[in-house]
Each structure stands twice: as C-alpha cells, then as structure tokens.
Amino acid sequence: MKELRLILGDQLNLNHSWYQVIDPSVIYLMMEVASEAERSPQHAQKILGTFAAMRAFSESLTSLGHRVHYVTISAPDNQQSFSSNVSYFCQKFAVSSFVWQEPDSWYVDQELKKFFNSSSLDGGDTTTEHFLEPRDGLSLFMKSRSIWKMENWYRHLRVKHNVLMEEGKPIGGAWNFDKENRKSWRGDPSPDSTSRPTHDHSALWSEIIKAKVITFGNPDAAAFQWPSNRDESLAMLKRFCDTNLQFFGDYQDAMSEKSQTLFHSLLSFSLNLKMISPHEVLNAALDALEPDHNNIASVEGFVRQVLGWREYVRGIYWAKMPDYLSSNAFAFSNKLPAWFWTGEVDMKCMNVTINQSLDTAYAHHIQRLMIVGNFSLLAGLDPRDVHLWYLGIYIDALEWVEVPNTIGMSQYADGGILATKPYVSSSAYINRMSDYCKSCKYQRKEKHGAQSCPFDTLYWDFLITHRKAFKNNPRMAMMLKNIDRKTESEMVKIAARARDLRDNIENL
Ligand SMILES: Cc1cc2nc3c(=O)[nH]c(=O)nc-3n(C[C@H](O)[C@H](O)[C@H](O)COP(=O)(O)OP(=O)(O)OC[C@H]3O[C@@H](n4cnc5c(N)ncnc54)[C@H](O)[C@@H]3O)c2cc1C
Ligand code: SF4
C-alpha cells in the first residue's frame, strides 16, 4: 500500500514522528502554491523566506533517505492549489492512502477535509506535534468560565506544564511582572544584532518573479536575513537567550528609530513554520533564568508571550472561526490610505513603522499594536482590510495567529472577546515609549490646529463617540473620566478636526 503524506509550508518540523522511520512506500508531497498571494498581496520576503525554508526542509528529508516529491512554483504540473495538487499526485503516484498534518489555517483544513471525504482514499489527519495544547484546548478550558481571559489560561498552562513554578507557586512571587516591563530605551544597553543568518536567494527570487507571484516590499534577496532551517533557528534562539533576553522584559514596549528590533527575539518566523518548537523556546528561556531569579521579569515576560499569548490566540482562532473573520463591532468601513503600501506619510511613528515593515517584513509587537493598529482603530479603518494588510506584510503572518491579534487584540472588532479593552492611546504613550515624536512634523503641544498630532484628536474622538459602549467596562473608567475635563467647545473642535483628518487621510 502506497501512502501520500502532505507537508505544508508551515509544517517544517524535522522532529515529527513521521520522519523517525524511513518507509519506501511513503511519498512526502511538498508544494509551492500562489493561492495565499491571490487573497492578498504578500511581502516579497515572506514568499522568499517560506519557499527557501521549504526547499531546505525537502533537502533535509531527502538526505535522511525519505522519498520527497517537491512541486516548485513554476513546475509545469503544479495545479496551484492544495487540494488540486493532492488530487493530482494521489492519482499520479497511485496511492491508496492520504495523510496530512492538521493545517493551522481553517480554510486549508476545510479544503483538505472536503477533498478527502469526497475521495475513496484511506488515511486522515494527524497532529503537527508542535503546540503545547490541542486546537480545542482553550475552548474546553473556558467552557465553565463566562469571561475569556488570557491571564487565566496562562496561569493554567504555567501550572499544567510546570513552567516557572516552585512548590505550586509562581517563581518570583508573582505571575506577572508587566509593571517592571515598561521602560523606554534611550540607546543603552545596546541590543545584540549578530544572531541573524545571511543568504543569497537571488536565484530563487528570479524564479518567483518569473512565476508572476504578486508581492510587495523589499525582497532583500541577495542579503536575506531570515533563517532557512532548524540549525539557523536554533542558533538564533541560543544567541537571543545569551544576549537580548536579559533586557527583553525591561524594554519590550520600547520603540526607537535607532533600533528596529531592540531586544526582541525575531523567532516568530521559525516558530510559525515549526522549524523550532515552543517547547524548545521555552526550555531555552527557562535555562537562562539565573539561580537567584534576578532576571525573572525578563524570563517571565518572554514565557508569557510564547506559552500564554501564542497558545491563547490559537485557541481563540479555532474556537471562533470562521465567523470571527467578519467581526466588525464598530461597523468601521474606512479604506486604508495608499501610504500603508508606500510609507509616504508625515506622521513619524507611522512612517518609521511602515517603512521598516516594507523594508524588513518585521515590526515588533508594540509597533504593530500601538502604532499601526492604534491608528487603524482610531481612524475607523475596515478591520477586514486591516487584517489583509497585516496578513500580507509580516514574515510571520499566518492566519491563525494574525487574525486574533488583528481583529481581536488590535482592532477590538470582536467586541472584546480577546482583549478586555481596546488598545488605543494618544501621543502621550507613543512619546513616552519612543523617540518618534521628537522629529515629527506634527506637534504634540498644538491642540486642534493643522499641525496637531492626529493620534490625540482621533483618540479623544474615539472615546467620546464610543463612550456609551464602554461605560460598563471598568478598565476604561479612567480613560472615560478624562472626557469630563473637556469643555463643550473643545469637544466640538475635536469632532471637527477628527472629521478633517479622516477626510484627508491620504495626506497625513
Ligand atoms: C496587529 C498584530 C498582528 C500580529 N500578527 C502576528 C502574526 O501574523 N504572526 C505572529 O507570529 N505574531 C503576530 N503578532 C504578535 C507579535 O507581534 C509577534 O509575534 C511578534 O512581534 C514577533 O516578533 P518576535 O519573534 O521578535 O517576538 P518577541 O517579542 O520576541 O516574542 C517572542 C515570541 O512570542 C510569541 N508572541 C508574542 N506575542 C504574541 C502574540 N500577541 N500572539 C502570538 N504570539 C505571540 C511569538 O511567537 C514571538 O516570536 C501580531 C500582533 C499584532 C498586535
Ligand atoms: S507627534 Fe503624533 S504623529 Fe508624530 S510621532 Fe508623535 S504620536 Fe506620531
């Protein structure tokens, strides 16, 4: 009996039990398809990095003795969709069984199940052996709880997986050190930036262009800086734990023109393609905990992201899809301005973040959340369009993790399922956490004039407009209370300037 096993582009887990036995009756199928790029344009580095890592993975399997059939983007028999390719190659190789690892995308999951159910093949799906929790782990945990809260889930996982626990209590005496993790960064200490590999992917890039895959952003093909395999990913993990992790906690919310990545790990691409596992990442971070627990704030801050947020957003995705994608709690419908794709905008914070994203396919969490996301929500942009922008631009953007972060955390379009309050701020937060405002055309001190900061006007306008909707939310109480300090005439000016900003959004 011959069996076809599908390996998707984000299933590059060399430690999967599939590969422990070499079986000549098993054919592994890998394919480069452009269907994702048809839904929304993708950053050149995302396509390049994914294809490069897939090709390297295929070579690794082949060198171990496995039989791999790899369909390149320009292969004449590439059917350009997952199910069409699977159908075609099942017939071509005359297999009687088809097996696949659970896709992380709801759509691909549906597509493969539909194909399988309509076929007469044996087989079925199996786990990716990557995540700490199953797809439905979060919804089962939340069954008896009325409010979905990341913190409850995170504490549950800390105990369940015995992470940073000592005699049943959290190490360091607290579950959370967020208050210590809010420093701005003025240039010292220096972040380490030596951990990244360099590849010349020029030949692959030419192939992608020839295949007419729609991309945008800087391909950086000749000096490509994202890892292509497990060894490079592990080297980045080690270097991060040896250097930047100790400052991760203090500066995780900081932003600066002087450093694009600061003390962040840049591991999301490796993790999401499964070149490394969350277990490995967590263990490496836990090994870096000093015996006196002096660096607990940094280690816990990092563990919270990988164990808490990453597993949480995945659980939300599987609990709420497919309806989640069309959530639009505020019924916002404004279009994204063209400068989201060019970076040609005078608002310094947006200019820096968008240009960096176009150039490197990366922005760190606070840039995504409190700069671009914050602006998008305050400006009333259509959350579906915002989602497609995020899905296209970031190297690590896969729907299961991008959608809850964008639709839920950043745009509050789910009405508060993922986040307990909208992540909105005025320029005060941006100025405190970054050096962007110093060299901005807009003036924080000016109140309502043409040079006043768009974030300030839009922030107040958002709070005033949605005041009623948030009146029972205790986490919004402080913010809403400040509205009472505004006079009637000030509110009129805010509304007028906000209208003007939205009408002239292309010219900010
Ligand atoms: C609007 C928006 C969109 C986002 N889209 C994506 C996306 O498409 N893919 C993606 O992996 N992350 C996404 N994130 C989460 C987060 O911003 C990125 O994981 C992080 O910036 C990746 O950089 P890093 O590896 O240097 O992370 P670090 O800051 O070093 O964090 C370590 C790891 O923790 C995990 N992590 C941290 N925060 C989150 C989070 N909120 N959700 C899930 N995992 C998290 C990531 O795996 C990350 O690699 C998004 C956040 C926002 C606000
Ligand atoms: S002044 Fe306003 S627009 Fe300019 S960088 Fe600061 S927050 Fe951004």
Q: What's the 94 CA to ligand 1 centre distance in angstroms?
A: 42
Q: Is there an atom of ligand 1 within 6 Å of 272 CB?
A: yes
Q: Which of 126, 158, 181 is the last residue of a domain?
A: 126
Residue 131 lies in a domain: no
Angle, helices 278-287/296-303, rounded to nearest 10 degrees: 170
Res 154 pLDDT > 70? yes
Which residue range forms the structural domain that includes residue 154?
Answer: 142-191+244-320
The reply to whether 80 falls in a domain is yes
Closest ligand to residue 350's CA: 2
Question: In this structure, are 419 and 291 located in the same domain?
Answer: no
Domain at 97, CATH number: 3.40.50.620
Report residue 36's pLDDT band, with 50, 70 and 90 as the boundaries: low
Cα–Cα distance measured from residue 253 to residue 263, given in angstroms and rounded to the nearest whole number: 10
Q: Are residues 87 and 15 in the same domain?
A: yes
Q: Inform me whether the pLDDT recorded for 181 exceeds 70.
A: no
Q: What is the pLDDT of residue 465?
A: 94
Say how far apart CA 129 and CA 221 lie, in whole Å. 32
For the chain, the average pLDDT equals 94
Shared domain for 276 and 352, answered yes or no, is no
353 lines ligand 1 (CB under 6 A): no
Q: If you average pLDDT over residues 195-211, what whole number do you get?
A: 94
Helix (H, G, I), strand (E, B) or coil at 321: coil
Structural domain includes residue 202 = no
Across the range 211-222, mean pLDDT stands at: 94
Question: Do 162 and 257 lie in a common domain?
Answer: yes
- 65: CA distance to ligand 1 center in Å? 35
Measured from the CB, is residue 345 less than 6 Å from ligand 2?
no
pLDDT of residue 466: 94
| 219: in domain | no
Nearest CA owner, ligand 2 atom 2? 453
pLDDT surpasses 70 at 275: yes
* pLDDT above 90 for 1: no
Q: Which segments of 202-295 are extended strands (E)?
A: 215-216
Select, from the ranges 70-84, 171-185, 428-442, the one with the highest average predicted confidence (pLDDT). Answer: 428-442
The residue type found at 344 is E
Residue 213 Cα to ligand 1 middle (Å):
26
Quick one: which of 422, 436, 419 has its CA closest to 479?
Answer: 422
- Same domain, yes or no: 316 and 251: yes
206, 30 Cβ separation under 8 angstroms: no
Residues 352-361 pLDDT 10s: 999 999 999 9
32 pLDDT band, cuts 50/70/90, is very high
For residue 369, what pLDDT is reported? Answer: 98
Residue 410 in domain: yes
pLDDT value, residue 55: 98
* Position 49 in a domain: yes
Give 391-439 as a DSSP string.
HHH-TT--HHHHHIIIIIIIT-TTSSSS-SS-----HHHHHHH-SSGGG
Residues 357 and 494 in one domain: yes
Candidate from 36, 405, 409, 423 with most ligand 1 atoms within 8 A of CB, to mutate? 405
Residues 116, 152, single domain; the answer is no
Residue 456 in this model has a pLDDT that exceeds 70: yes
Please compute, for residue 63, the number of CA atoms within 13 A of its CA located in the half-sphere on the CB side. 7
- pLDDT value of position 230: 97
401 lines ligand 1 (CB under 6 A): yes
Q: For residue 147, what pLDDT is reported?
A: 82
Query: Distance, CA 479 to ligand 1 centroid (Å)?
Result: 27
Among the candidates 99, 126, 153, a domain finishes at 126
Place of tokens 């999951």: 109
Asked if residue 196 has its Cβ within 6 Å of ligand 1, the reply is no
Ligand 1 centre from 115 Cα, in Å? 32
Q: Which stretch of 16-20, 30-34, 233-237, 453-457 has the lowest confidence by average pLDDT?
A: 30-34
| 194-208 as b/e: b if 16+ CB within 10 A | ebeeebebeebbebb
Confidence at residue 195, expressed as pLDDT on a 0 to 100 scale: 78
Q: Return the H-helix or E-strand segment holding 480.
A: helix 477-481
- 255 in the same domain as 346: no
Q: Ligand 2: which of 440, 447, 460 to mutate, judged by most atoms within 8 Å of the beta carbon?
A: 440
pLDDT (tens digit, 9 = 90+) per residue, 316-365?
999 999 999 999 999 999 999 999 999 999 999 999 999 999 999 999 99
- For residues 370 and 495, membership in a common domain is answered with yes
Which residue's alpha carbon is nearest to atom 5 within ligand 1? Answer: 402
**The domain spanning residue 184 has which CATH number?**
1.25.40.80
Query: What CATH number is given to the structural domain containing 350?
Result: 1.10.579.10
Mean pLDDT calculated for residue range 71-81:
91
pLDDT digits (tens, 9 = 90+) for 86-108: 999 999 999 999 999 999 999 99
Ligand at shortest distance from the CA of 394 = 1
Same domain? For 306 and 362 the reply is no
* 147 shares its domain with 117: no
Give the chain's domain count.
3
Domain boundary among 293, 320, 347: 320
Confirm or reject: Cβ of 427 under 6 Å from ligand 2.
yes
Whether residue 197 is preceded by a cis peptide bond, meaning omega within 30 degrees of 0, is: no
Answer whether residue 136 is part of any domain. Answer: no
Task: Note whether 157 and 257 are same-domain residues.
Answer: yes
With a 6 Å cutoff on the Cβ, whether 403 touches ligand 2 is no
Q: Please determine, for residue 499, whether its predicted confidence score (pLDDT) is greater than 80.
A: yes
Please indicate, yes or no, if residue 137 is contained in any of the structural domains: no
Q: Are 221 and 203 in contact (CB under 8 A)?
A: no
Please write down the HEC assignment for all residues of 120-133. CCEEEEECCCCCCC
Could you give the residue ranges of the DSSP H alpha helices within 273-362? 278-287, 296-303, 311-320, 339-342, 348-360
% residues pLDDT > 90 (the chain): 88
**Is pLDDT above 80 for 226?**
yes
Give 118-179 as a DSSP string.
TS--EEEEE--S-SSS-TTHHHHHHTT-SS--HHHHHHHHHHHTT-SEETTEETTS-S--GG
